[in-house]
Amino acid sequence: MPSQAEAPALSEADLRAIERLLADFGHAADRLDPAGVAALFLADGELVAGGQRVSGREGVAQDCRTRFARPGRATRHLCTNLRIDPQPSGDVCVAQVQLTFEQAEGTAALWRVSDVDDVLRRDPQGRWRIARRVIRRVMAGSA
């Protein structure tokens, strides 16, 4: 029986950098910073959210500008149940649960629970970036 290639172990520095990358996504989104969100992706990275797929940093930034355009919009992202799984290819697959609170001017607060699946890869400078992020809503409601 052929042996499967083993995934390379991640260093403590890699784990911290990956955790920071994931936290930076919520931080930039909560501060309505489209360029900050887009910078977390590889140049050809992909975001799939709300049934829409966008590609490239400019596509991600434009998607964020559209989402952030509602007057008085505020969000907060909380993530938990983090799983970081290195792959034999050198990529890292990450799964987490995201709780998002959102409110726009004059509207009731909304909440969403989503499964977030990422493929992370190093950019040419060796930094971890998002190659693909898929956000799937599992449940939602209003406060």
pLDDT tens over the chain, length 143 residues: 444 578 889 999 999 999 999 999 999 999 999 999 999 999 999 999 988 999 999 999 999 999 999 889 999 999 999 999 999 999 999 999 999 999 998 899 999 999 999 999 999 999 999 999 999 999 999 97
**Structural domain includes residue 122:** yes
Range of the structural domain that residue 69 is part of: 12-142
Distance CA 130, CA 39 (A): 9
**Structural domain includes residue 2:** no
Q: What are 46's two structure tokens?
A: 């992909």
Distance CA 43, CA 41 (A): 6
Domain count, the chain: 1
CATH of the domain at 130: 3.10.450.50
**Structural domain includes residue 6:** no
Residue with tokens 């709300």: 50
Q: Give the β-pairing of 92-103 and 128-142.
A: unpaired
Distance CA 45, CA 21 (A): 14
